[in-house]
Structure 1
Amino acid sequence: MADHAAVKALLGSLPSGAPVYDGQVPNMPVFPYVLLRGGVGRPAHRSINRTVHASSRRWRVTVAGENSDSVRIVLEQVQAVLEGARIGLQRLEQLPTYEGVDPLMDEDVKLSDGSHPFYAVTEWQVMQ
């Protein structure tokens, strides 16, 4: 739980001041925002007899904004704050993706002006 609180605190220090929602977005969010999910540990390496030798904690960080530019700006801030940060004694690292991290339009959500918000998802991990 302390690891999750540490990641949330790092995200709370973004220069943009974007709000950080933990696990769920309210019905009327303030844009742009950051959604933090995850942080539960899972086995990462096992021996032949299936004993866990290392575990990892992963977080999914979603940045949402009214346009793709706002998502890019906040996403760059997220990457600058999280990449290489120390969580306990471990280094926090972004997991690579094959698709890249381009902002996508969320066509399932319609804003009050009729436009659609944009979002981008990144995943982060510490090994323990």
Structure 2
Amino acid sequence: MTKCDMVVLPDLARRHTLIKERLKIFKNGIDPPLMVSAKKGSGIVKLRFLILSIVGGLERAREVANRKKLFRFANVKSWRNSTSRDQQKKGPSYYVRLRKGLKNPSKNKRTDRKFKKTSKARKYK
């Protein structure tokens, strides 16, 4: 609340309680309303302290968010670069492996087809 020096004290107290009740509705509202007078300079120190604490909190939150982002990026990058020995030996897992020829030559017809890359091997009937 500004211009508190221009209002009579009983009226100022009534306005203070009304605004305090309205601020309870909001989640992030500051509980006690600040009464500031630029002419007399009352309440300016509290207002400065409140603004600096809010700005300082925002800066700290940004720093923490940046640290988390860098940490996540470093973990993803190291995860991508590391491969297990099994993957290096086997090669890509999405190629279909053809079955070896069967004893009966009439059933070997399916092994001659070209298959597309798939994530799961196809089963022969």
TM-score (norm 2): 0.24
Structure scoring higher RCO (CA < 8 A, sep ≥ 6) equals 1
Report the structure, 1 or 2, having the larger helix content: 2
Report the structure, 1 or 2, having the larger strand content: 1
The structure with the larger Rg is: 2
